[in-house]
Amino acid sequence: MVACPSCRCARILIHVDAGRRARCLDCGATWLQDGAWQHSVTAAGNGSAARAVAKISVPNGVSSMDLALAVVGELQRAARAEVVGHDVAGGVPEITLRLPVPLTRRLELQYMQIGSTIERAKELYRSVMENREALLTSLALAQEVRSHNRAALEQLVATRESARQLLSAAS
Ligand SMILES: [Zn+2]
């Protein structure tokens, strides 16, 4: 029995390709399974472990092809999966399935999208309001400077006028 070198769990997934990369369905550790020899073990980081979503017991003597066909058959039966293609890429057989997505899940995704759009709109609104605030502040500042300048000019004119009056009174 092959077990995870990290947590000793027996629920593991071995990729049926030349790489023989195996992954623990419990802790998410990965390693190379070379016969009974395990090497290049990578322990799963915190929270990044791929969790098992289904537990399938495989009786002795069942090949990986039998298992794959059984899983596809079960997905066709229970989840109305549709086989849309099969191929062998790099020596690895592939089966492409199309699965109907339940309406609730679709709505959930749309709801999430709408949520993020609203969030983005709020951000834009906030940034526009901040810019508007800054614009109003500089406008008020400019008006203040202008009225200050006008007052200074009026004072200058008044000073010149009183100087002229003083001069004409003196002469
Ligand atoms: Zn493990």
Is there a contact between 9 and 3 (Cβ–Cβ < 8 Å)?
yes
Locus of tokens 């790099």: 90
Rounded distance, CA 130 to CA 128, Å? 5
Q: Is residue 35 part of a domain?
A: yes
Q: State in Å: Cα 169 to ligand 1 middle.
A: 107
Helices (H), the chain: 64-79, 103-170
Q: State in Å: Cα 39 to ligand 1 middle.
A: 14
pLDDT of residue 38: 86
Q: State in Å: Cα 23 to ligand 1 middle.
A: 8
Q: State in Å: Cα 30 to ligand 1 middle.
A: 8
pLDDT of residue 45: 64
DSSP states of 48-66 as a string? -PPPPS------TT--HHH
Q: Is residue 121 part of a domain?
A: no
pLDDT of residue 19: 66
Q: Is residue 10 part of a domain?
A: yes
pLDDT of residue 100: 82
Is there a contact between 14 and 35 (Cβ–Cβ < 8 Å)?
no
Q: State in Å: Cα 32 to ligand 1 middle.
A: 13
pLDDT of residue 112: 83
Q: Is residue 43 part of a domain?
A: yes
pLDDT per residue as tens digits for the range 64-121: 778 788 888 888 888 788 888 888 877 777 788 888 877 777 788 888 888 888 888 9
What total number of domains does the chain contain?
Answer: 1
pLDDT per residue as tens digits for the range 14-34: 765 566 778 887 888 888 888
Q: State in Å: Cα 31 to ligand 1 middle.
A: 10
Q: Is residue 111 part of a domain?
A: no
Q: State in Å: Cα 66 to ligand 1 middle.
A: 25
Q: Which residues sit with Cβ closer than 5 angstroms to ligand 1, an ion?
A: 4, 6-7, 9, 24, 26-27, 29
Q: State in Å: Cα 121 to ligand 1 middle.
A: 44
Among residues 20, 13, 17, 104, the alpha carbon closest in space to that of 56 is found at: 13
Q: The whole model's pTM is what?
A: 0.30
Split at pLDDT 50, 70, 90, the class of 55 is low
Q: Is residue 2 part of a domain?
A: yes
Q: Is residue 23 part of a domain?
A: yes
Q: State in Å: Cα 9 to ligand 1 middle.
A: 5
Q: What is the mean pLDDT of the chain?
A: 82
Higher pLDDT, 141 or 47: 141
Please give the residue range of the domain that contains residue 46. Answer: 1-51
Beta-carbon contacts of 16 under 8 Å, excluding residues fewer than 6 positions away, are 64, 92, 93
Task: Give the DSSP H/E element, type plus range, for residue 39.
Answer: strand 37-42
Q: Is residue 28 part of a domain?
A: yes
Task: Give the DSSP H/E element, type plus range, for residue 88.
Answer: strand 82-89
